[in-house]
Chains A and B, each alone.
Chain A
Amino acid sequence: MVLRKYFIPRFIQYLTVLFIGITLVFIIPRLLPSDPVEHQLNRMTAQGQYLDPAAVEEMRETLQELYGLKGSLLQQYLIYWKRLFTGNLGPSFTQFPTPVIELIKISLPWTVGLLLGSLLLSWLIGTILGGIKVSFPNSTVAKGIEFLAMGIRPIPYYIMALVLLICFAFVFPVFPMAGGYSMGVKIGFNLKFILDLLKHAFLPLMSMVVLEIGGWFIQMRNVASNVVEEDYVVYAEALGLPKSKIIFRYIMRNALIPQITGLALNLGFIFGGALITEIVFAYPGMGTLLYSAILAGDYNLIMGINIFSIVGVSTAMLVIDLIYPLLDPRVRYQ
């Protein structure tokens, strides 16, 4: 019953969103003013290739042929779907003929590591601090935390990142200024590499965590402030249950739904990377890959990266819709 009335329509909704999203990332890049063929021609001359005007027009043709941009939009669209079903994202135009998936494979681990780390860390800390603040509204520590969280939060991210960088990589050069790992360190599963990795990821990670904690904190505090006034919390307190049990079992659990919705959405968006972080800390990742793809009109690469985001976000939304009733028994499938 629930299956037919809830799950199947919800799944159809999921597929519809996927279809819309995937179609949009086919159309939007093609409307962009940057044309991959022109971009490549420009890059050739910018790299000093002696391209006399007589050769320009023929080169244009050749590139269009290679990129598969000949033929009507509809034809290209159908080919695009056909390729997708065989799991092929096509070649990148800026790094032709490297397959898009290869480029994503290079950048994705860095991005997932960095963003998953910062997201989970800031979510956990922000949520717990928010819960504590609500449970002990008058303690000085809680107020101090609140002041810090609220005070740091409005700082523009770029400034925050730059200040951290200047302080801990330049004035006190404890952390490296650029890169994801050191020269001469063997990539692999060994202690040396992992420590080196953590060292390089530390500043980028912190710059995000410090600011994001505030966001999660504010949301948790505000939602939980409702919960504290609920009958069952008052009742639990009257019963004399231990404070920790009240905080975690009663207050925080019942305020978690918006937190988890936000977390799930953020998780889905991980694949887009963190552009400014990558630029400031010269850290590898998907943000710069996607940005350069947009500027160069690298249709396949834009589509490839965004398909990860689209699948990620819509799946995250499907999953949270399905687990709401588990988190909060009062919510029912309908």
Chain B
Amino acid sequence: MFKRLFRHDRRFAFGFSVLTFFILIALLSLFAPYNMKAWNTVPRDLPVSWQHLLGTNALGQDIFWQATAAIKNSLLLALIAALISRVIAIVLGLLAGYKGGLFDRIVMTINDSFIIIPLFPVLILIASILRTSLSIVVLGIIIGLFGWAWDARLFRSQILSLKEREFTKTALLSGMKTYKIITSEHLPYIIPLIMAATINNVIWVLGMEVTLSMLGLSNLNTPTIGTMIYWGVYVIIPDMMIR
């Protein structure tokens, strides 16, 4: 089936190739010859060459290897955050939508509270408590724990409509269990929505990380897409303007 998808659906093939490419780059970072956190491991401001594929930056780091580590870290962050928030959002969104009544009311109260928590102060607060132990993984978990509520509401909105459909009623009458109806009838139906929401969530997480870095709030010693932009903005961007 996978082969068929790959061969016939060009969109899938394209997406899959891109993802594989990034994962390969990320894996490459495991073989980096330099310490990614240290400065002045190579001469500063070298142009592109075979030895330094993308040159070196003003801090004396190899940009290519830096980029591989950045992609790895950012991907890791996004995957952790997305995974955690997906699990919570799907379970709660589906259950709340399907069960309705008091259960829905309670879950949605919690859900809505999570939506309105001002995320920014909370992240600063957590960063100040955890200090240097705020690693990529921990940050991913935290963003995941605060990033599910929005999508849970989205999934619930679909279920509200689905559960009044004929096929749900039929399944119900034929004595199917709740979880069975949800997993075998509703879940497949909203998979496209979940996919869309996941893409948007991953992009939101990456954007969040860039924002935190731009403001100097994340650990600037860890290479990520955000910190690379942060360090690069005073060097690369002005550089672009010259050429």
Contact = CB atoms under 8 A, between A and B. Distances in A.
CB–CB under 8 A between A and B in the complex? yes
Interface of A: 9-10, 13, 16-17, 20-21, 24-25, 28-29, 31-33, 146, 153-154, 156-159, 162, 166, 170, 215, 218-219, 221-223, 225-226, 257-258, 261-262, 265, 272, 275-276, 279, 290-291, 294, 302, 306, 309-310, 313-314, 317, 320, 324, 328, 330-332, 334
B200 A218 contact: yes
B120 A331 contact: no
B211 A28 contact: no
B196 interface: yes
Contact of B121 (A219, A223, A302): A302
A302 B119 CA distance: 12
Contact of B203 (A215, A219, A294, A328): A215
Contacts, number: 139
Contacts of B210: 156-158
Which 6 pairs from chain A and chain B are nearest by CB? A222-B192, A222-B196, A219-B196, A21-B116, A330-B164, A17-B112
A159 B229 contact: yes
A156 B225 contact: yes
A302 B118 contact: yes
A306 B121 CA distance: 11
Given A156-B229, A302-B121, 9 more contacts: A13-B105, A24-B117, A28-B125, A170-B241, A221-B196, A291-B215, A313-B115, A313-B116, A332-B164
Interface string B226-241: 1001000100010011
B135 interface: no
Interface in B126-166: 128, 150, 153-154, 157-158, 160-161, 164-165
A159 to B, nearest CB: 7
B112 A166 contact: no
7 contacts: A13-B112, A24-B116, A162-B233, A170-B241, A222-B195, A223-B196, A330-B165
A9 B103 CA distance: 12
A291 B211 CA distance: 12
> Contact size class for B?
35 or more
Contacts of A158: 210-211, 214, 229
Contacts of B115: 265, 313, 317
Looking at B113, B210, B229, which has the most chain A CB atoms within 10 Å of its CB?
B113
Contacts of B122: 28
B131 to A, nearest CB: 11
Nearest to A333: B100
B117 A226 contact: no
B27 interface: no
Nearest to B165: A330
Contacts of A154: 203, 206
Given A223-B193, A265-B150, A317-B153, A324 B200 contact: no
Contacts of A265: 115, 150, 153
B38 interface: no
B120 A219 contact: no
A159 B128 CA distance: 28
A35 B195 CA distance: 43
A9 B108 CA distance: 12
Contacts of B124: 32-33, 294
A328 B165 CA distance: 12
B117 A331 contact: no
A310 B117 CA distance: 8
